[in-house]
Amino acid sequence: MRTRLALIATVALLLGTAGCAGDSAPRYDATPAPTATGRGLEQGAEPAGTAPAAPADTSCNPRASLRPSGALPQPGRMPAGTLMADIQKRGRLILGTSQDTLLFSSRNPFTGKVEGFDVDMGRLIAGAIFGDPDKLQITVIGYDQRVNSVLQGKVDVVADTMTANCDRWKDVNFSSIYYEAGQKVLVSKNSKAASLEDLGGKRICSAAGSTSYDNIGKVRSNPPPVAVSRATFGDCLVAFQQNEVDAISTDDTILAGMAAQDPYAKVVGPRHTQEPYGMALNRDHPEFTQFVNAVLEKARRDGTWKRTYEKWLGRFGPAPQPPAAQYR
Ligand code: GLU
C-alpha cells in the first residue's frame, strides 16, 4: 500500500477545492459528469474501452487561427468598436483559468495569487491592452466550464492548459498555439506500468470536461482501464493519494506539476496524444482573436515566450522553440 504524506494531500485538497466557482465536485460513485462535448464516460462504473467514446473530429486544422491584421495598437488606445476597447473601458481583462495546475495556473499559498505559464499569457494580453499586466482579473473555473465561460461572456479569455481541437472550435475561437503538450500517465513510484495501455482494469482519474478523460475511453487494452472523473485534477491527486484511483492521466505539463508535489509518484509513457494549447476566445469578436495572435507573435519574436517558459518550466530543461503560428 502506498504511504502518503498527509500534508501533501491536505495541500492538494486545499488547492483543488478552495473557492472553485462552479465546481460541483462529483462523488466517487455519483452520476457521470458530462464532458464539455456532452459525451461523458461513466464515472468509475464503466470499463473505459467499452464506453462509447466519440471519435475525434478531425475536420479542421485546430492549430490554424486568425491572422493578425496590421500592427498592434498602442496600449491604452484600443480601436473604437472593438472588444479590446470595451475591455479597456472596463479597466481589466477577465481571465478564466484553474487554481490547482501547478506551473500553469495555481494559487501561490504565500501570496494568495494565482500564477503560472497560463496566467502569464493573460498578463501578456492585459499588458498589450492597458500597458499594465496587473490589470487582470482571474476567475477560477472548472475544466468543464472553459467553453461555456467564453460563450456566456463570463470571461474574455480562457488560458487553462486547453487543447485547441475541432470540437471546441465549433463554439469558440482559439488563439494560435502557445504551448505543445501531450498526454501521459502518473502512477506510483513502484508501479511497473510504462504507459496507459499497461493499466488495464485499473482506475484512472481525469478531470471532467478534459480531453484526457475522453482519451481514456479510447484505450483498447484487455481488460480496458476504468475512467474516473473528478471536478479538477487537484481532486484527482487527492484521490490518487488516498488510493481511490491507481493512476492519473492528463497532459505531461499538468502531471509534471503533480509529480513535483508527490515524492511517491512518477510520470510514465510516451506522449500518446498531441495537446496543442490555445487561448479560447469569443467567436463573435474575431478582432480580439487577431489582437491576441499579434500579441503572441510579438512574444515569440522578442523573447518573452522563452523567458516565460524558463520561468515556469526551466527546471525540465532548456526552452524549446515556441510553437510556430499557423493561420487559416
Ligand atoms: N488539455 C486538456 C484539455 O484541454 C486538459 C488536460 C486534460 O485533458 O487532461 O481538455
Q: Best of 41, 98, 161, 168 to mutate for ligand 1, by most ligand atoms within 8 A of CB?
A: 161
User: Which pLDDT score is estimated for 137?
Assistant: 98
Measured distance CA(147)–CA(124) in Å, rounded = 21
In angstroms, the Cα distances linking 80 to 73, 89, 94, 122, 290 are 11, 10, 19, 22, 15
161: left (phi over 0), alpha (psi -120 to 50) or beta: left
3-state secondary structure of 123: helix
Ligand 1 centre and the CA of 204: distance in Å?
14
Residue 325 makes CB contacts below 8 A (sequence gap 6+) with 65, 176, 177, 293, 296, 297, 300
Q: Best of 100, 104, 210, 253 to mutate for ligand 1, by most ligand atoms within 8 A of CB?
A: 210
Residue 42 sits at the vertex; the CA angle it makes with 40 and 45, to the nearest 5 degrees, is 170
In angstroms, the Cα distances linking 10 to 90, 102, 132, 237, 247 are 38, 15, 35, 10, 19
Ligand 1 pocket member 250 (CB < 6 A): yes
208: left (phi over 0), alpha (psi -120 to 50) or beta: beta
3-state secondary structure of 73: coil
Ligand 1 pocket member 246 (CB < 6 A): no
User: Which pLDDT score is estimated for 243?
Assistant: 96
Handedness of CA 92, 96, 101, 107 (dihedral sign): positive
User: Which pLDDT score is estimated for 23?
Assistant: 25
User: Which pLDDT score is estimated for 57?
Assistant: 84
**DSSP letter, residue 153:** T
3-state secondary structure of 201: coil
The structural domains of the chain, ordered by start, are 43-51+181-275 (3.40.190.10), 64-180+276-318 (3.40.190.10)
Per-residue pLDDT in tens (0 to 9) along the chain, 328 residues:
444 443 343 334 333 333 322 222 222 222 233 333 322 233 433 444 444 456 678 899 999 999 999 899 999 999 999 999 999 999 999 999 999 899 999 999 999 999 999 999 999 999 999 999 999 999 999 888 999 999 999 999 999 999 999 999 999 999 999 999 999 999 999 999 999 999 999 999 999 888 899 889 888 888 999 999 998 888 999 999 999 999 999 999 999 999 988 999 999 999 989 999 999 999 999 999 999 999 999 999 999 999 999 999 998 889 999 999 999 9
Ligand 1 pocket member 275 (CB < 6 A): yes
Ligand 1 centre and the CA of 110: distance in Å?
27
**Which cell is 38 given?**
456532452
